[in-house]
Amino acid sequence: METTEITVLEDIEVNNPIFIEALPGLGHVGKLAADHMIDELGATKFAEIHSPTFPPQVIVKDEGIIENMKNELYCLKDVGEDHLDLIILVGNTQALSPEGQYLVCKDILEYVKGFGIDRIYTLGGMVTGQPTESPRVFGAATCEENIELLKEAEIEIRANDGGIVGASGLFLGLAVRQQIQGSCLMGETPGYFIDAEAAEAILNKLSILLNFEINVDKLEERAEETRQMIAKAQQMEQDMINKANAGNADDLRYIG
């Protein structure tokens, strides 16, 4: 595998869909929110994405079953009072390197453009370094019109305050060059644990922007599942480091 591979699992028909990106990031806020939308609203997975830029590992799940590092595309049709179609990008990883981020995001954007997407929302976290009882949602956008929409939803505008790193920023930057407008929603999070409260805050604001309703009662349950997944991934990474260090001392002892 030398480039991004997109495997289509099911053909879909959508009408001017909105693209939502929610890959793992700070506090896993966006991922948690999107995973909950997928389960609660009954989305259909229609494609899987693999790339040599993803971490060189697999995740070991329950009963010893492995899961590849991958991104996934889901489809939701006829959502909310405006009957919107949505394409949602989730996954268990992002690309490791800056070059990999550009390549994967560019390839995914080119693919979903084929469905006629006309707007993008990227979901993520904004680190505060300390817990907050009522996480605020901050926003940034590609144009003044979208800024006004964020303000109407009572989302605080993040102005002159650093950048948006990773896929959440890059997708917007790549999209605006192709005349596709969008916004980023960032939930306040300490950044060092899986933050269900920030995910709920983002979902509440997204539901206002897209005019749909969603029950968030099961978010904490999903947060615990995500914590376990991340703990396993981190253990895998540590095991790789330990083996590499052991290999430096005695290559004959390394079995991989």
pLDDT in 10s for each residue of the chain, 256 residues: 678 999 999 999 999 999 999 999 888 899 999 999 999 999 999 999 999 999 999 999 888 999 999 999 999 999 999 999 999 999 999 999 999 999 999 999 999 999 999 899 999 999 887 777 788 999 999 999 999 999 999 999 998 777 899 999 999 999 999 999 999 999 998 887 788 889 999 999 999 999 999 998 888 776 676 566 556 666 776 788 888 787 665 544 333 3
Which tokens is 9 given? 């699992």
Structure tokens at 113: 């453009």
Q: Which of 87, 5, 13, 4 is nearest to 45 (CA)?
A: 87
Distance CA 3, CA 104 (A): 8
CATH 3.40.50.10900 fits 5-253, yes or no: yes
Question: In sequence order, which residues have a C-beta less than 8 Å from that of residue 139 and are 6 or more positions away?
Answer: 147, 150, 155, 156, 157, 158, 183, 184, 185, 186, 205
Contacts of residue 244, defined as CB under 8 A and 6 or more positions apart, other chains included, come to 254
* DSSP H or E run through 60: strand 58-60
